[in-house]
Chains A and B, each alone.
Chain A
Amino acid sequence: MIKFENVSKAYEENNVVKNLSFEIKKGELCVLIGPSGCGKSTTLKMINRLVEPTEGAITIDEKDVRDFKPEILRRRIGYVIQNIGLFPHLSVKENISVVPKLLKWDKDNIDKRVFELMDLMGMQENQFLKKYPSELSGGQAQRIGVARALAADPDIVLMDEPFGALDPITKSGLQNEILRLQRKVQKTIVFVTHDIDEAVKLADRIAVMNEGKLVAYDKPESILNNKENEFIKKFVGFDRALKKLTRLYVEDFIKPYKSVKTADLSEFAKSRTESEIFVWVLDDNGELKGWLNNDDSIDFAEDIENLVVTGIENLQISPGCSLRDALSVMMSENVVTLPVVDNKKLIGEIRLADIVGNEKNI
C-alpha cells in the first residue's frame, strides 16, 4: 500500500536517507527500527510530507503523495508522536474532534465517533471527555493521542516512538492495546522505535535501518534468526533467542497434566505407580492447591495431606503469557514445570524442555 521508490533525503551535505525502496502492505504493522540518526523518523515523516524527499517518490495505493496538498494528505493519515502534543487549551473531547472538524463532519457524527473511540481505548467514563490534558496521566494522555489519531478513521497511522516517554508498565499496557486494536480494525501502521523488544512484540514486519540505508526488511523471527549480518546480530543483541520467546505463547505449548483431588489422596497413595514424578493436587472445588511428590515419603506418612506442597500462587501462569514470561517464572521459582491456570482452573502444564527445545521449530 505504501511504497518507497529510491527515496533519498539530504540536508545540505548530510545524507540522512539513502536510496530507500520497500513496500508496506495494507493492514500490516511495519516497525522502522535502528540506532539514533539512522533516518527512521525522517523516513516516517516523508509519508505524510512533514519532510520532503530530495530524490525518489513515495506512493500510497499507487498515487504519489506529492499529488495531494499536504494538509489534505495529513488529515487522512493518523499521526502519533512521543510527547503526544495534546492541545493544552482544549478538552479531551475537543482534542479528539480536531481532525473530524477539519474534515467538516457534522456534530452528531463527531460525538458518535468520540464515544466509539473512548470505548475502543477502554476509557468509557464520561468524566474523561471534559478533562484537560494537564489533568491526565502519561498513559491516559497517550491513549487520547492515539484516539485523536484514529478519530477520522484513517487507513494509515504513523507512530513516532509513541511510548518512549512512558514507564514500563504503562508502555506494556499500551503495546497490548495496539495489538488488540490491530486485531480489531486492521489499520496499516508504520511504527518507529529504537527498542528491539517493542519491535519484536508488535511488528508484522521489521525494517532495520542503519545510516540511512535499509539493512533488512522481514518478519521478526527472520530478523532474530539472522546470523550473517554483523550489524543486525549486534543490534538484536545476544539474547535474540530469548526475544523470540516473546512471540510464542503458553497456550500453544500446553502439555497434559496429572492431578488428584484432595479427597482422593489416600486412594492415590494406594494405587500409585512410578510413572509420574509428581501430581498436581486440586481441592474439592477443582481449584489448584499444590503438588505432591510421587516418592516413598507417601508410604511412611501418617497424613498424606501434609505432604502436599502448597503456596504455589507464584508458579501459576495463564495461557496468554509468552514463553519468555514462563521461562522467567521458572527461573525465579527454581522449578522446571509450571501449572497453566485459566480462571482458577488447572488446564495444563508447561515444561522447561518444551520451551528450550522449541526454537528449533521456528
Chain B
Amino acid sequence: MKKLLGILFITIFFTGSGFAKEKVVVGSKIDTEGSLLGNMIMLMLEENDISTVNKIQLGPTNIVRNAIKTGQIDIYPEYTGNGAFFFDNFEKGVFKDFQKGYETVKKLDYKENKIVWLTPADANNTWAIATRKELAEKHSLNSLEDFATYVNNGGYVKLACSEEFATREDALPAFMEVYGFKLKDENLLVLSGGNTAQTEKAAAQKTSGVNFAMAYGTDGALAALNLVVLEDTKNVQPVYAPAPIIREKVLNKYPEIKKILKPVFESLNLEKLQKMNSKIAIGGVPAEVVAENYLKSNGFID
C-alpha cells in the first residue's frame, strides 16, 4: 500500500507542469496565428538561453486566460482589442485607437491581474466581412460603404458568421449602425463556435447560399479561397493588435524578455502575418517551421 502511494505521489510530482521552477511556460490560443506567435516567443526565449515549456495551442481564449491567471502558463500572445471583453471599466471607444487601446488594457491587466503587456505588433487582426472576389468585382464592392449600398438596394445577402459576431455590440450591430444597413435573420447563417475558417469556406463554396463571410483581417485562408475583405473605412472595429503578455513574477525573474521580444513584434505587420498564416493554413507547414524561418531570415535568431 505504501509503495502505491509513493508511486502516486511521484507521478503527480513529475507530471505537474511548471514544477521545474526555472522554465518559462509559453502558451497560445488554439488558432493558427496564436500558434505562429507563440512559437516565435518560444524560439526567441530559447535563443536567449531561457528554457521553456511548450503549452502552445492550449485551447480557446477563456482557457488560456484562465491558465495565465492561475499560473499554469507564464506568457502568451493576446490581442489589445480583447481588453473590451476582459474588463468593463474603460472609456467607450478607446479600443478603436491602436495606442490608446494598448495603454488601457496594459494598465487594467496589470492592476487587476499583475500581468504585463509587452510591445505590440502594428497589425490589426480585427473582424471584417469578406466575399468572393468575383462577386466583389461584379457589384464593385470594395468597402463596407459599398456593401451598405448593395444591401439597401435589395442585393442578395447570406452572411455566415458566429453567434458572437451576430450579437456582440461591437461587431455586426456596430457595423449596421455606423454604415446604415440592416440584416435580418434570413440574411444570416449563424454557426456556433465562431470559426472564420468555416465561414470563409462556406462563402467560397457557396454552401447553403452563403455569399458573405465573417473573417479576421489576417486570416491565411482568404487568398487561397479567392476571398476579399471589405474595407472598414469608418473604423468601426476595435483594433486587435497582438502583443505578448506575461506574468509579472516571471518577468521579474527574467527582465530581459521585454527587450528580446520587442524588435520581433515591432517587425510584424498585417501583410506579413497574412502570408505566414497562409503558409500554415494552406501549405500545411507547421507553425514552428514558419516562425523559425521568419526569425532566421530577419536575423533574430541564427
Direct A–B contact present (CB less than 8 angstroms): no
On A, residues with C-beta under 8 Å from B are none
